Each structure stands twice: as structure tokens, then as C-alpha cells.
Amino acid sequence: QQGDPVEAPAFLAASYACQRNTPQPGHNTLLTAALSVLAESAELNGDEGRGLAFRRSEGLLRSLDRRVQGPAELRGLPCLGDHSQRVIQDLLENGVSSEVEETKSSPRYRAMKLLTGIFGVGVKTAKRWFTEGICSLAQLETSGHSLNAAQQAGIKYYTDLNQPVSREEADAVSVMVEGVVHSVLPGARVTLAGGFRRGKMSGHDVDFLITHPDEGKEEGLIHKIIACLESRGLLLYQQTTRNTYRESAKGAGRPSSSMDRFDRCFSIFKLTNDSSPEDTRRAQQQDPERVRVEADQTGSGGRPWRAVRVDLVVSPISQFAFALLGWTGSKLFEREMRRWAVRERSMSLSSHALYDRNQERYLRASSEEEIFAHLGLEYVSPTGRNA
């Protein structure tokens, strides 16, 4: 079949990220990395709207099934605002975007990134410090600001916590968490969520969702888990927050925000250098009370272990499917799913429940597939949720 070369058809792309399959890292990493910098910069400026616009463009480009070669291929694609298009055009023509390069080297962006890189420090606090002229950890330490417990841990383990967690480290942490959870509540289920469930090879933390097949058995579980982790010397820091979510029959307590109300623990684990998943499993089998493996290797700061951020979330089994969906991410995918629910289906979705505003009732689900089906969305597997 010969003839005149025809122009490649425009990419077909749905406008909501939750309607698309978005693998990691995608075919347009030059473009997505650049847009991610601009999104992050906007977020660090407290400009949510602008950040979201860049995140949507980034997500769209990551979902495309081939590399964009020229601006003409972008015609007809959703989610690409004028600003994103200008940046993309620059990158396609010159290989770099001056705006992105300037952003990356700007003192404000660098300082804000450094300060928000401290565990326990959000954008607001970092902004306040930056306006006082604080741009480094040394300046913060001599500033006389009193830091809360989380921030103190954040400073203490700064280097470790800013070094990405590898897949292997995540697996080693999984073995530790499973060992502890099963020892305090046999039959409980531990599921790796977050970026690692989406197939990412590294992450900033390791997220776990914990439940038990018998509703109610999970009550108070978080405290038992923490006590056990502490007794085994596996925790460097922890802060537990209590569940306050109550489902109201009238729907008054229906999910109205993305705030989570599960029992949750923000923690920092002590991961020994040689705690590969296999070693950790073996050590636990030999002596469950002693999973600390004395190592002769040295880690960051000459230590034989390293600090790793771990989030533990406990969900009752009745909410598990919603919790799993909510804690798998990505953040943009979640956000888009909630936006789809409200705008296209008149439903409210949270990590706890799905409420149908027309029928004025909650829709039950025992799997993620059922939630997608309730929403009239085609199922997207976790590895396709990297929007």
C-alpha cells in the first residue's frame, strides 16, 4: 500500500487522567521532567492552580504511547495550556527550555526545595523561613527557630530521607512490617501502596495499607504495631494520628475533602544496610524479636543503617477498596478521579467511600474494579495510574 506519506494521526487522549493508562516513565521524559519542575515551582510558591495546570500537561504527555517529535503532533490534545505548549515547543526545538533552566537555578526554588525537603516542613513554613533569609540547613540551625519533633527528626536524618528509597529497600521494609503486623494480629493483611504499587523503581517513602478480614479486628491495631516496632528498635520517629471518620446514614458525613481519617502513622524506620528482603525474612524466622541485623558495612554518616520514611495506614475491611485506591495514587490520578466523580457522575469519592448524590446513598465496593465500574470508568491497573 503505497501513496503519499500521510501525516501521523493526532494522539487520541481523553481529558481526565483517570480515563487513561499512564505507565512509568512514559515516552516523553524530557518534556515531563521539565513540566514537573514548573509544576513543583508553582506548588512551592503556593500557586495550586498553576501547579495543577502543569501537572495535567505532564500527566497527559506521560500517557502518550510514543514520543512527540514536533509541535504539530500536539494539536487537538487536551490538558495543554498555552504556557505548557510554549515550554514544550522550546524543548522540541532547542532541547532545553530557558524558563525551566532559570527556574531550576533560581535561589528561591533551590531554597524552597531544600527547606521543604526537611520532613515535617511544609510550603508555608519554608516560605516564612525563606523570607527571613534562611536558605540552608546551617542558617536554619543558627536562626534560633524552635523546631517540632518531626522537623528535628527531619534535620537529623536529612541526607538519608532525601536519598530515594529503592525497590529493594521497600521490599525489605515490607518484610519487617509484615513480620510485626502478623505477630500482633495474625490474619491481618499488609498491602504495599503508593508509588511502589504503581511499579515505580524508587520513591520518597514506603506506603502500607493494613486491614483485617473481620471488621473491627483492626481497631487499636496501629498502637500495637507501633509498640512492637519500638520494642524491636526499628523506629527512629513516629507520629500516630487517630481515625475520626464516621459514615453518617444521612450522608452528612459524606466525603467532602481529600483529608484522610484513618488511623495513620508517619514514621521513620531504621533499615540496616544488609537487610535485603531475604536476610530480613531469614532473621525474623530465626528470632522474631531480633530483626536488627548488626552490620559491618557503613551507611550514610558512617552508620550501618539508614533512615527510611514509612507511612502506615489502617483501614477497616469495609473501606479497604476505597483506601487502597486512594493510597495507590498518583496524586494527580486521585484528584482527577474525584473530579470525574463530581462533574461527570455527581458522586463524591474519598479514601473511605463513594457517595451518590442523586440516589443519596453510599455505593459499596469490595474491589477497586467495582469502584471504577460505579463511576462508569474503564478499569486502570495500578501500573497505569502514574499520571
Q: Write out the residues near Mg ion by the rule CB under 5 A.
A: 194-195, 203, 205, 207
Q: Please list the residues that pair with 355 across neighbouring strands.
A: 348, 362
Is 311 among the catalytic positions? yes
Neighbours of 298 (CB within 10 A): 11
Q: Is 40 in the site for ligand DGT (CB under 6 A)?
A: no
- Stated as kind and residue range, the H or E segment containing 207 is strand 206-211
Site of grid cell 444521612: 250
The active-site residue out of 160, 171, 205, 263 is 205
Cβ pair 137, 143 in contact under 8 A: no
| Length in residues, the chain | 387
| Residue 330: contacted member of Mg ion, ligand DGT, none (CB under 5 to 8 Å, by partner type) | ligand DGT
Q: How far is the CB of 37 from ligand DGT (least distance, A)?
A: 15
User: 88 vs 237, which CB is nearer to ligand DGT?
Assistant: 237
Phi, psi of 203 (to 5 degrees): -160, 175
Phi, psi of 14 (to 5 degrees): -80, 160
| Residue 334: contacted member of Mg ion, ligand DGT, none (CB under 5 to 8 Å, by partner type) | ligand DGT
**Strands 305-314 and 206-211, how do they pair?**
parallel
Q: How far is the CB of 70 from Mg ion (least distance, A)?
A: 35
List, as one string, the DSSP characters of 255-295. --SS---SEEEEEEEEEETT--HHHHHHHHHH-TT------
User: 70 vs 122, which CB is nearer to Mg ion?
Assistant: 122
Cβ pair 188, 217 in contact under 8 A: yes
Q: What angle do CA 295, 300, 306 make, to 5 degrees?
A: 60
Cβ pair 340, 376 in contact under 8 A: no
Interacting residues with ligand DGT between 320 and 339 (CB under 6 A): 326-327, 329-331, 334
Phi, psi of 82 (to 5 degrees): -55, -45
User: 193 vs 349, which CB is nearer to Mg ion?
Assistant: 193
Interacting residues with ligand DGT between 195 and 224 (CB under 6 A): 195, 200, 203-205, 207
Phi, psi of 268 (to 5 degrees): -125, 120
User: 103 vs 330, which CB is nearer to ligand DGT?
Assistant: 330
Name which of 241, 146, 235, 165 is nearest 207 in CA terms.
165
Name which of 64, 67, 55, 85 is nearest 30 in CA terms.
67
Interacting residues with ligand DGT between 297 and 316 (CB under 6 A): none
Q: How far is the CB of 289 from ligand DGT (least distance, A)?
A: 30
| Residue 86: contacted member of Mg ion, ligand DGT, none (CB under 5 to 8 Å, by partner type) | none
Cβ pair 273, 297 in contact under 8 A: yes
Q: How far is the CB of 203 from Mg ion (least distance, A)?
A: 5
Is 207 among the catalytic positions? yes
Using CB under 6 A, pick the residue from 40, 73, 260, 336 that binds ligand DGT: 260
The active-site residue out of 90, 274, 279, 311 is 311
| Residue 329: contacted member of Mg ion, ligand DGT, none (CB under 5 to 8 Å, by partner type) | ligand DGT
| Residue 336: contacted member of Mg ion, ligand DGT, none (CB under 5 to 8 Å, by partner type) | none
Q: Select the residue whose beta carbon is closest to ligand DGT and give its number.
A: 329
SS3 content of the chain, % helix, strand, coil (to 5): 45, 15, 40
Using CB under 6 A, pick the residue from 51, 154, 194, 384 that binds ligand DGT: 194
Q: How far is the CB of 66 from Mg ion (least distance, A)?
A: 28
User: 128 vs 331, which CB is nearer to ligand DGT?
Assistant: 331
Residue 303, judged by CB atoms within 10 A of its CB (0-12, 13-18, 19+), counts as middle
Interacting residues with ligand DGT between 57 and 76 (CB under 6 A): none
Q: How far is the CB of 7 from Mg ion (least distance, A)?
A: 41
Choices 20-28, 192-200, 265-273, 280-288 (CB under 6 A): range interacting with ligand DGT: 192-200
Q: How far is the CB of 165 from ligand DGT (least distance, A)?
A: 8
- By rule CB under 6 A, what count of residues binds ligand DGT? 16
Residues that bind ligand DGT (CB under 6 A): 194-195, 200, 203-205, 207, 258, 260, 326-327, 329-331, 334, 351
Active site amino acids:
205, 207, 311
